[in-house]
Structure 1
Amino acid sequence: MEFNMQEGGFYTDLGFGKLEVSGNEEYGFRPFQLLVSSVAVCSGGVLRKVLEKMRIDFEDIHIKADVVRNEDEANRVEEISLHFMIKGENLDEKKIEKAMKLTRKNCSMVQSVQDSIKIEETFELVSK
């Protein structure tokens, strides 16, 4: 990846399009937003694959991500809480718990930051 400077931040051209990044939301995505998004979406994608491999029928996954930052330490990200709302009929809570453990183990983004950022994952089952 290569990043080019522009007014207010930097950009890179990727296969899907142009990604603009800046500490100021007026000019692009903020770096912490991309970090949290990477962890959340990686986890969601892995969970989706795990559920499919386990042949668990589900309709949708919605993820709520909350972040705790430390203003005294360069506003560093200290905690990311992910809450998965899994929609479907007759979902087995024990099987979902197993899927969540496999998800954490196999998500490259969680594995990359887990020693420096506290990652918490919770879930709830939502009926159709």
Structure 2
Amino acid sequence: MKMIKFMEGIIMELYLKENGLRTSLEYGELEISGDETYGFRPYQLMIASIAGCSGSVFRKILAKQRIEVEDIQITAEATRNPDEANRIEKITLHFIIKGHHLDPEKMYKNLAIARKNCSMVRSVENSIEIEETVKTIELSR
């Protein structure tokens, strides 16, 4: 494992290779490159981190409330600015939730709680606009 944890933070060891960077983590190796034929592009990892964190926290909130969810699908839509080094300006997370007795208004309230407790969203909140949409699909028994 190449991630070292300290009280103050985490240190990741990344190794420069011909076409990008490599790191080994508990789950496996991660290849990062500006060319997607050699690894994940940095912006893809940023978007996936924000969607993954938000979805994980949201799912935990729903589980604590005993809301019956069969499936959650998240589609992330990003807007980048080519005039500013292609920086990510906005990420819209579209949540499609399948389950039983789903209240769309309650889903939005739970997403607001998830936003406050997601470390990735909080890390970028003053530089990347994050927006969420919710679609609920009621499943019959």
* Band of TM-score, shorter chain: over 0.9
| CA deviation after TM superposition for structure 1 residue 94, in Å | 2.6
Aligned partners of 1:91 and 1:32: how far apart in 2?
A: 33
Give the conservation status (yes or no) of the 8 Å contact 2:104–2:134: no
Residues 24-47 of structure 1, C-alpha deviations (whole Å, 9 max, x = no match):
001100000000000001000000
Aligned partners of 2:45 and 2:97: how far apart in 1?
A: 23
- TM-score scaled by structure 1? 0.97
Aligned residues: 128
Greater alpha carbon shift after TM alignment, 86-95 vs 67-76: 86-95
Aligned partners of 1:35 and 1:101: how far apart in 2?
A: 20
Residues 4-53 of structure 1, C-alpha deviations (whole Å, 9 max, x = no match):
01121000000100000000001100000000000001000000000011
Aligned partners of 1:51 and 1:75: how far apart in 2?
A: 35
Alignment of 1:1-128 (within 5 A): 1-128=12-139
4+ residue runs over 3 A deviation: none
Aligned partners of 1:30 and 1:97: how far apart in 2?
A: 30
User: Unaligned 5+ residue runs, structure 2?
Assistant: 1-11
User: Unaligned 5+ residue runs, structure 1?
Assistant: none
Aligned partners of 2:74 and 2:105: how far apart in 1?
A: 19
| CA deviation after TM superposition for structure 1 residue 127, in Å | 2.4
